[in-house]
Amino acid sequence: MDYVRRAGERGRVNIGWLDSQHSFSFGHYYDPKHMGFSVLRVINDDVVRPGYGFDEHAHRDMEIISYVVSGALAHKDSTGNDFNVPAGDIQRMSAGKGIRHSEYNPSQSYSVNFLQIWITPDKSGIEPSYEQKTIDESTPVTPLINPTGTNGALSINQDVSIYKLTLAANASHRLTTGKRWGYLHLIKGTVTVEGTRFGAGDAFGLMQDKVVSVSATDDTEALWFDLPIGQS
C-alpha cells in the first residue's frame, strides 16, 4: 500500500451531540501528512445524537456526499430540497456557485452514523444540484457515483467513481488501479491485504499500476474510490 490511514490515528472532535473522526485535515484538526488523497479531500465519520444536527451553513465549489451507515439524516437546502436520507441511501450535493443547507438527526431515540465525503470539483461555479438514491445490494461491487451517472449511479462533477464493496466472510476481491489511484475505506468488518490487517475505520490508498487482493475475515462493507492521479 502507498498510503495507510488507521482508524485510531484519525483526528477527532467530540462536542457531546457530535462525535466526529476525520480521515483528513478538517476544521480545527490539521495534519500536513493527511490533507487528502488525489481529489478526495474529506471523509468525516460522524455520529450525531438524537434530535441534534448541523444548523444551516454555506458551501461553495465542493462535491459533498453523505453515506448513511445507520439511522437517518434529514437534509434541507436553499434550492428547495427537503429529504430524509435513511441507511441504505446515498446522497450527492454539488455546492457549485453556492448553497446553504442543514443536516439533522430526525430521530428522538437513535443516533445517526454517516460518512460525509468531500471531493474537489472538476469545474467551479456550476449551478448547485442534488441527487439521492437507494443502494442496490444485489452484487458485491455496487456503483454509487460516477461522472456520467450511468449503471444506476449518481453523477458527480469530477472524474471519480465510488463503489460499495460488500464481502462475505472468507470472500475476496481484487482491486486494480491501472493509470489511476484508488482508496479503500472500511466501514464494517475486517480484511487482510498483502498480509496487513484492516478493520472498521481503517483505510489505504493505492497509486497507479497496483493490483491487490482484499480477503475478508468476516462480513465486510467498504467504499472504493477510483480517483485520477493526484497528490496525497
The answer on pLDDT for 232 being more than 60 is no
Q: How confident is the model at residue 73 (pLDDT cuts 50, 70, 90)?
A: very high
pLDDT (mean) for 92-115: 96
What are 160-205's pLDDT values in tens digits? 999 999 999 999 999 999 999 999 999 999 999 999 999 999 999 9
Q: How confident is the model at residue 49 (pLDDT cuts 50, 70, 90)?
A: very high
What are 215-226's pLDDT values in tens digits? 999 999 999 999
pLDDT (mean) for 121-134: 94
pLDDT (mean) for 123-135: 94
CATH number, domain 3-227 = 2.60.120.10
pLDDT attached to residue 137 = 73
Residue 51's DSSP bridge partners are none
Q: What is the pTM of this model?
A: 0.96
Residue 88's DSSP bridge partners are none
The answer on pLDDT for 106 being more than 70 is yes
The answer on pLDDT for 76 being more than 70 is yes
pLDDT (mean) for 80-94: 93
pLDDT attached to residue 204 = 98
The answer on pLDDT for 136 being more than 90 is no
Lowest model confidence (mean pLDDT) among 108-112, 148-152, 209-213: 148-152
Q: What percent of the chain has pLDDT over 90?
A: 93
Q: Where are the domains of the chain?
A: 3-227
Concatenating the DSSP letter of every residue in the chain gives --EEE-GGGSEEEE-SSEEEEESS-BTTB--TT-S-BTTEEEEEEEEE-TT-EEEEEEE-S-EEEEEEEESEEEEEETTS-EEEEETTEEEEEE-TT-EEEEEE---SS--EEEEEEEE--SSSSPPPEEEEEEPP-SSSEEEEEETT--TTPEE-SSS-EEEEEEE-TT-EEEEE-SSSEEEEEEEES-EEETTEEE-TT-EEEE-SS-EEEEEESS-EEEEEEEE-S---
pLDDT attached to residue 230 = 86
Please tell me the distance from the alpha carbon of residue 146 to that of residue 143, in angstroms, as a whole number: 8
Please tell me the distance from the alpha carbon of residue 201 to that of residue 158, in angstroms, as a whole number: 25
Whole-number average pLDDT of the chain: 95
pLDDT attached to residue 135 = 86
pLDDT (mean) for 141-165: 95
Q: Comparing C-alpha atoms, which of 131, 132, 167, 158 is closest to residue 38?
A: 158
pLDDT attached to residue 139 = 79
